[in-house]
Amino acid sequence: MIEEIVTTFDEQGNITGTASRDEVHRRGLWHETFHCWFVGRQQGELSIYLQLRSQQKRDYAGLLDITAAGHLMAHETVEDGVREVQEELGIPLAFAELKPLGIIPYQMDSAGFIDRERAHVFVYENSHDFSDFILQQEEVAGIVQARFADFRSFITGASRSLHVNGFRVTGSGEQVEIDEQVEFSQLVPHERDYFVRVIEGIEAIYG
């Protein structure tokens, strides 16, 4: 396997060098990632899309997460991050179609895994049907959507659960419908401030 090398940063965002992907998580080094949130319109209402992480994932397996995201390698630009959407979701799009929400630094710490990211965050207005998604099954097990207003209430704590609908793909390749209420424990534990900044950025664009 080819070792993945990423650029490292200090807390102020100054480049400090490079390190392997495993090393940045072991030592808690700041590094760059690319996040793309899909939104859409359903009967005139704004919705937001979440991916269901594969059970094969080493970290946060089976939890709901950012629509598409990944690390930026040391040789890549932010524009190269759009490959994550194509790889994970099978949706072809150009970087010019994305609306920037800025760089959002945040961290998640768990036993043996310290994730300190300078996330380049973007939003994409999706017009594709669920049937258009071709998932990278070792990474993504499904896609769901929720009303944006409900997602905001869920993140801010005004609601204790969130209604999502979409699909997941079984180990045998069968597509199964999802239509359920989920709890906060079923979401990858990004800092709430990260979610709030994403929500506020989307609201600034879409009202």
pLDDT by position in tens, the chain (length 207): 578 999 999 999 999 999 999 999 999 999 999 999 999 998 889 999 999 999 989 889 999 999 999 999 999 999 999 999 999 999 999 999 999 999 999 998 876 788 999 999 999 999 999 999 999 999 999 999 999 999 999 999 999 999 999 999 988 888 999 999 999 999 999 999 999 999 999 999 998
pTM score, whole prediction: 0.95
Regarding beta strands 64-65 and 161-169, do their DSSP bridges make them parallel or antiparallel, or are they unpaired? Answer: unpaired
Number of other residues whose CB lies within 10 A of the CB of residue 161: 13
- The whole-angstrom separation of Cα 128 and Cα 25 is 34
What are the structure tokens assigned to 60, written together? 């946060």
- The whole-angstrom separation of Cα 160 and Cα 206 is 25
- The whole-angstrom separation of Cα 23 and Cα 169 is 32
